[in-house]
Amino acid sequence: MSIPGPDSLSAYLGVAAVLFSAGVLAMATRRNAIGVLLGLELMLNAAALQFAAYGRFRADGLDPQGQTAAVFVIVVAAAEAAVALALLFAVYRTSKDVDLEQTRELRS
């Protein structure tokens, strides 16, 4: 079975690291809640890619556990996105905005 793409673990880990950093950056700097959510998806996908890559490039051969974990991550991420979007919609309905600076009501 030949898989297209680079045949080394470090290439995939590098891509995952870039994805993860981009996600963290987006979560930290975006003011729009949808942008924050996009950053979150990048972080989760970086983790899923790492699970799959680590499972594929094991010293003692392919390990299905890594791929399985990646599938779990993808499924749960979809559920999480659904709940998050529902909550953002609830915020939008009450304040007509999902800008995190504008919707701040809770403080001491």
Partner 1 sequence: MTGELSHLLPEATLAVGVLLVLVADMLLPAGRKASAGLLGVVVCFGALLAAAVSQRGSVSDMLALDALAQLARPGVLLATILVLVAGRAADGRDDGHAAWVALMLALALGALVTAGSTNLVSLYLGLEVMSLAGYALAGWKAGDRRSAEAGMKYVLFGGAASGLMLFGMSHIYGLTGHLDFAGIGAALATDMPLPVLAALILAGAGIAYKLAIVPFHFYAPDVYQGAPALAVAALGTIPKIAAVAVLVRAISLTVPDTLVPPTAFGLALALAAIASLLVSAFTAVASRDAKRIVAFSAIGHAGTVILALACMPGIMPVAAAAFYLAAYTVANIGALVCLAVFERERGSAALDALPGAMRQRPWLTAALCLFLFSLAGIPPLAGFLAKWGVLREALRVGLGEAGREHMTVAALILLASTAVSAWSYLLIVRAAVLQPAPEQPRAARLAPGLVAVVLVCAIASVGLGLWLDGFASIARALGG
List residues binding partner 1 (CB under 8 A).
20, 23-24, 27, 33, 36-37, 40, 43-44, 46-48, 50-51, 53-55, 58-60, 63, 65-66, 68-69, 72-73, 76, 79-80, 83-84, 86-88, 90-91, 93-95, 98, 103-108
Say how many Å lie between the first and final Cα of the chain, rounded: 60
Q: How far apart are CA 60 and CA 98, in angstroms?
A: 48
Q: Taking the complex as a whole, how short is the minimal distance between the CB of residue 72 and partner 1, in angstroms?
A: 6
Taking CA 88 as the corner, what is the angle to CA 85 and CA 90, rounded to the nearest 5 degrees? 110
Q: How far is CA 68 from the centre of its chain?
A: 17
**Cβ closest to partner 1, residue 3 vs residue 96:** 96
